[in-house]
Amino acid sequence: MARVPEEMEEVLASDKTQDTLQLDSLVGHIEDIILSNEFSTLRENFLKKHCHLFDDNDENKLEYMDIFKQYTNLIEGHIEKELSSRASGFQMSLFLQELTSSCALDGEVFDLLMTFTDFLSFKTAMLEIKQSREDGADTLEDLLQITSLKS
C-alpha cells in the first residue's frame, strides 16, 4: 500500500542568513536584559535618586537634560556590558549598523528601547516615581493590596 506523504509547508524564500540569525539572537538577549530584575532595579534606583528635581511644568529646566544624558548613558552602558558578556565578539557599532540596515526594528522590544531614549517618556517616569514617593508608595509592591478570597 502506497503511503501518502504528509503535507509539507512550501518555503519559497527565506531570509535566515547568518547575520539575521545573529541579530535575532542579540534581540533575544536585549529582551532578557531589559526584562531582568537587575535592569529594573538599576533603572528604578536612578529614577528615585533624581525624581525630586523634576516638576510637572511645560517648561523644562536645563538640569533635566544633564540628568537625561546620565540616564541614557547608564541604560546604554548596562545593555552594552550585558550584551558583551552574553555574545562573544559583540561590537555595539556593528550591531547598530545591522539594526539600521534591517527591518527588525519593529516589535515590542524596540518600542520599549525607544522609551529609554525618549525625553518625554523619561520625564513622565520621573514624575510618576516622584508622585508615588509623595503618596507614600516607594515601590510597585507598595501600591498593591493583597486580599484573601477566602471568607
Tens of pLDDT, residue by residue over 117-149, are 899 999 999 999 999 888 876 555 554 455 556
Query: Across residues 69-83, what is the average pLDDT?
Result: 93
Of the pLDDT bands very low, low, confident and very high (cuts 50, 70, 90), residue 105 is low
Of the pLDDT bands very low, low, confident and very high (cuts 50, 70, 90), residue 63 is very high
* Four-point Cα dihedral 121, 122, 123, 128, nearest 10: 90
Average pLDDT, the chain: 79
Q: Which three cell numbers stand for residue 34?
A: 531589559
* Residue 101, Ramachandran bin (φ over 0: left; ψ between -120 and 50: alpha; else beta): alpha
Q: What distance in Å separates the CA atoms of residue 19 and residue 25, rounded to the nearest whole number?
A: 10
Domains and CATH numbers, the chain: 18-132 (1.20.1520.10)
What pLDDT does 56 receive?
92
Tens of pLDDT, residue by residue over 40-49, are 999 999 999 9
Q: What distance in Å separates the CA atoms of residue 90 and residue 26, rounded to the nearest whole number?
A: 9
Higher pLDDT, residue 8 or 17:
17
